[in-house]
Amino acid sequence: MNTFVVIYTQMEKYIKFTFIVCCFLFWGTRYSAQNIKDNCIFAPVFNTTYAVQFPLLDMSKSFGVNSNLGFSGGVKTAKNWQFELEGGFLFSKNVRVGTILDPILTSDRQIIAIDGQPSNIEVYQRGFTGGFNVGKIFPIIGPNPNSGLIVKFGVGFIRHKIRIENQDDLVAQLTKPNLVYFDRLTLGVITKQYIGYQHLGNTNLANFTLGLEFIQGFTRGMRDYQLDLEGPYLDNRLDFLIGLRIGWVIPVYRKAPSD
CB atoms within 10 A of CB 255: 13
| Residue among 244, 249, 246 nearest 215 (CA) | 244
> Integer distance in angstroms from the first to the last C-alpha of the chain?
62
Phi and psi at 160, nearest 5°, equal: -145, 160
Sign of CA dihedral 105, 107, 110, 115: negative
Classified by CATH at the fold level, domain 2-32+41-253 comes out as Porin (2.40.160)
How confident is the model at residue 30, as a pLDDT?
A: 47
pLDDT tens digits for range 180-238:
999 999 999 999 999 999 999 988 778 999 999 999 999 999 999 999 999 999 999 99
240 bridge partner residues:
56, 216
pLDDT tens digits for range 138-147:
999 999 999 9
Is residue 178 within 8 Å of residue 227, measured between CB atoms?
no
pLDDT tens digits for range 6-59:
555 555 555 555 555 555 544 444 444 567 887 899 999 999 999 999 999 999
How confident is the model at residue 9, as a pLDDT?
A: 57
How confident is the model at residue 54, as a pLDDT?
A: 98
How confident is the model at residue 33, as a pLDDT?
A: 55
Q: What's the whole-model pTM score?
A: 0.85
Is the pLDDT at 242 greater than 60, yes or no? yes
DSSP 118: B
Q: Where are the domains of the chain?
A: 2-32+41-253
How confident is the model at residue 256, as a pLDDT?
A: 56
Residue type, 208: F
- Average confidence score pLDDT of the chain: 88
